[in-house]
Each structure stands twice: as C-alpha cells, then as structure tokens.
C-alpha cells in the first residue's frame, strides 16, 4: 500500500476560520455604521457581508471535514468536501455579483449622493480588516481557500473603490463614480468565479490533473530498464492537490516477487515526484492478455 501524507497541516482551516471571524466582526461594524450614517449603500454591503459570513462558515466546516481520515464510506477520505465548499462559495459569489450589477446599472442613470464622511471612515476599516483576511488566505493552496480569498478580494476591492470614490466625491459632485466602480469590481469577480468553477468542475468530472503531465509519466516509466511498455493509464485529482493514478506496466522479463516489490517502489517514487501521490501499479508480461476493454 502506498501511503502518502500530502497534508498541509491545518493552516487552511485556520486561515478560513480567521477570515470568518474577521468578516463577522466587520459585518457588525457595518450594520452599526450604516445605521449611524443613514447610508443605504453601507447597509446593503452589510447584508452582503452577512451572506459572506454564512458561506465562510460553511467553507470553514467543509475544510475541517476534509481532514477526516478515510473510512468505508469515503475510501479516499473527505478531501473532496473542501471542493464542495469551493463550489458553494462560487455560486454565492456568482449570485452576489449579479445582484450588484442589477443594482449598479440603474444608478448610472440616476446616481445618488451618499454620506461621504461615513463612507471614508468605514472604507478605511474595510480595507484594513478584509486585507488582513485576504493576506492569510492568499497563502493557501486549496481551491476552497482560493475561492474564499475571492470573497475577501471582492470586499477589499469594494472598499478600495468606496475609499477612492468617497475621496473624489468629497471634493467633487460626482456620485456616478460609485456605480461605475461597483460594476467593474463585479465583472472582475465574475471572471475569477468562472475560472475557479471550471477548475472545480474538471475535478468533479475526474479530468486528468492539470499539474500532472501524462506524457512525461509514460516517458519516465519507459526509461526504466525492466519496463517494456505501459497502458491503461488513468489519473484524476481528489481535491485539486491530491492526485491519484492507476497504470498497467508490461515487463520485459518475469521478475520474482521481491524484485517486483522493489520495482514498484522505484516506480511509485518516480510517480510521486511527478505529482501522482497515490499510485496503483499492475504488472503484466508481453504475452499476457489484458482483460479490460480500454487496454485493447
């Protein structure tokens, strides 16, 4: 059995947890600030951030579940639950961005002047607090962390836009700046959401891992003296990081059980270096018929 520990520790769980509490803390500030400044824009963003808190909480939960060891129900473990969190977050980001566009376009033709002083103060707090969460999540490597970081990036860019827009509106009568920036940010987020959804769907549909070159796998194995040919090569990713591979290896000559075990160890080490973390290898001889349909 090939046991490979490909864990990044619990940093991903800690990162998402930190983002959740930072977002929850700032959402409370937003509700209070929106009421005190009588700003519908800030209150609307507070409602948006409350939705973010829910999805961040789900992401935290799924990322934590993904660390559970494998069992009879989930023989590859719970790693793909992290992917489920990423898909849910992507859907929420998609809906949220569409809602922003729906509300922003009418304001292009009927711009409204917000409370500029209150916007400036909350914008500075928003950039700082969401920036801290984004900084932690950007260091992560899981798809769940990357999608959650999009939430934080959306918020940071949103508050940078508010800060710039409020700064301009403080000196000039130009309320149209706010909807223009909102539309630009929403479109930026939509592009990134579709990119991450494409990656997630590829994994769900068991597409070959993008970081695993199957031609290179074949070439490396064919350069081993004992190997004559390879076929029935399959590779997929559990969560975008942990890759699984199965392959049939045709030997030039019959080997003893001990020599077969040594060869398997060498092959697994080579595959691991190429990015295949869980490899299943079956040996065959040249005159042996492979009974699987896709071997033929």
pLDDT exceeds cutoff 90 at 271: yes
Percent of the chain with pLDDT over 90: 18
pLDDT at 230: 92
pLDDT band, residue 260 (cuts 50/70/90): very high
Q: Does this model's pTM top 0.75?
A: no
Q: What is the C-alpha to C-alpha distance for residues 240 and 166, in angstroms, rounded to an integer? A: 40
Q: In this structure, are residues 231 and 246 in contact, taking their beta carbons and an 8 Å threshold?
A: no
Q: Which residue has the higher pLDDT, 52 or 241?
A: 241
| 125-54-99-175 Cα dihedral, nearest 10 degrees | -10
CATH 1.20.1510.10 domain extents, the chain: 11-204
pLDDT tens-place string over residues 172-207 = 877 777 777 777 777 877 887 888 788 888 888 888
**In which residue are the tokens 């999009």 written?**
150
Q: What is the C-alpha to C-alpha distance for residues 246 and 276, in angstroms, rounded to an integer? A: 9
Q: Describe the chain by its helix, strand, coil percentages, rounded to 5.
A: 65, 10, 25
CATH 3.30.70.1350 domain extents, the chain: 214-295
State how far Cα 283 lies from the chain centre: 36
pLDDT at 4: 43
Q: In this structure, are residues 240 and 199 in contact, taking their beta carbons and an 8 Å threshold?
A: yes
pLDDT at 264: 93
Highest mean pLDDT range out of 89-93, 143-147, 204-208, 263-267?
263-267
Strand pairing class (243-251; 227-237): antiparallel
pLDDT tens-place string over residues 100-149 = 788 778 877 887 666 777 778 888 888 888 888 788 777 666 666 677 77
Arithmetic mean of pLDDT, 41-55: 68
Q: What is the C-alpha to C-alpha distance for residues 27 and 165, in angstroms, rounded to an integer? A: 21
Query: Six-digit token pair at 68?
Result: 């559970």
Q: How many CB atoms lie within 10 A of CB 235?
A: 21
Percent of the chain with pLDDT over 70: 84
Q: What is the C-alpha to C-alpha distance for residues 284 and 1, in angstroms, rounded to an integer? A: 19
Alpha-helix runs per DSSP H in 110-176: 116-138, 143-171
Q: What is the C-alpha to C-alpha distance for residues 238 and 83, in angstroms, rounded to an integer? A: 9
Among 9-18, 117-126, 139-148, 269-278, which stretch is predicted with the lowest mean pLDDT?
Answer: 139-148
pLDDT exceeds cutoff 70 at 3: no
Q: In this structure, are residues 172 and 164 in contact, taking their beta carbons and an 8 Å threshold?
A: no
Task: Please list, in sequence order, all residues whose beta carbon lies within 8 angstroms of the beta carbon of residue 117, skipping any fewer than 6 positions away.
Answer: 37, 170
Domain at 214-295, CATH from 3.30.750.24, 3.30.70.1350, 3.40.920.10, 3.40.50.2300: 3.30.70.1350
Task: Please list, in sequence order, all residues whose beta carbon lies within 8 angstroms of the beta carbon of residue 169, skipping any fewer than 6 positions away.
Answer: 113, 114, 116, 175, 177, 178
Q: Which residue has the higher pLDDT, 227 or 47?
A: 227
Class of domain 11-204: mainly alpha
When the pLDDT of each residue in the chain is averaged and rounded to a whole number, the result is 80
Residue 107 to residues 82, 93, 182: CA-CA distances in angstroms?
38, 21, 10
Q: What is the C-alpha to C-alpha distance for residues 251 and 254, in angstroms, rounded to an integer? A: 7
pLDDT band, residue 293 (cuts 50/70/90): low
Sheet holding 227-237, edge to edge: 227-237, 243-251, 278-285
Query: Six-digit token pair at 42?
Result: 């800030």
């Amino acid at each position: 059995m090939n046991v490979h520990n490909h864990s990044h520790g619990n940093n991903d769980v800690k990162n998402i947890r930190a983002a959740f509490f930072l977002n929850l803390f700032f959402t409370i500030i937003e509700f209070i600030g929106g009421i005190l400044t009588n700003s519908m824009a800030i209150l609307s963003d507070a409602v948006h951030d409350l939705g973010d808190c829910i999805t961040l909480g789900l992401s935290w939960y799924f990322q934590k579940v993904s660390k559970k060891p494998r069992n009879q129900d989930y023989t590859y473990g719970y790693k793909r639950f992290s992917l489920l969190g990423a898909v849910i977050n992507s859907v929420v980001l998609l809906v949220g961005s569409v809602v922003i566009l729906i509300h922003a376009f009418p304001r292009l033709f009927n711009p409204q002047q917000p409370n500029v002083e209150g916007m400036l103060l909350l914008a500075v707090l928003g950039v700082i607090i969401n920036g801290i969460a984004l900084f932690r999540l950007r260091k992560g490597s899981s798809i769940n962390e990357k999608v959650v970081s999009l939430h934080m990036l959306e918020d940071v860019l949103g508050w940078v836009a508010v800060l710039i827009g409020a700064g301009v509106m403080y000196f000039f009568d130009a309320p149209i700046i706010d909807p223009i920036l909102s539309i630009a940010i929403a479109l930026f987020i939509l592009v990134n959401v579709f990119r991450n959804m494409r990656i997630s769907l590829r994994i769900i549909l068991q597409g070959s891992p993008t970081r695993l070159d199957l031609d290179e796998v074949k070439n490396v194995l064919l350069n081993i003296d004992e190997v004559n040919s390879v076929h029935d090569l399959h590779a997929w990713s559990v969560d975008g990081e942990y890759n699984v591979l199965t392959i049939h290896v045709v030997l030039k000559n019959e080997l003893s059980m001990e020599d077969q075990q040594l060869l398997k160890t060498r092959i697994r080490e080579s595959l691991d270096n190429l990015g295949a973390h869980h490899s299943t290898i079956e040996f065959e001889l040249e005159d042996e018929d492979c009974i699987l349909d896709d071997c033929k």
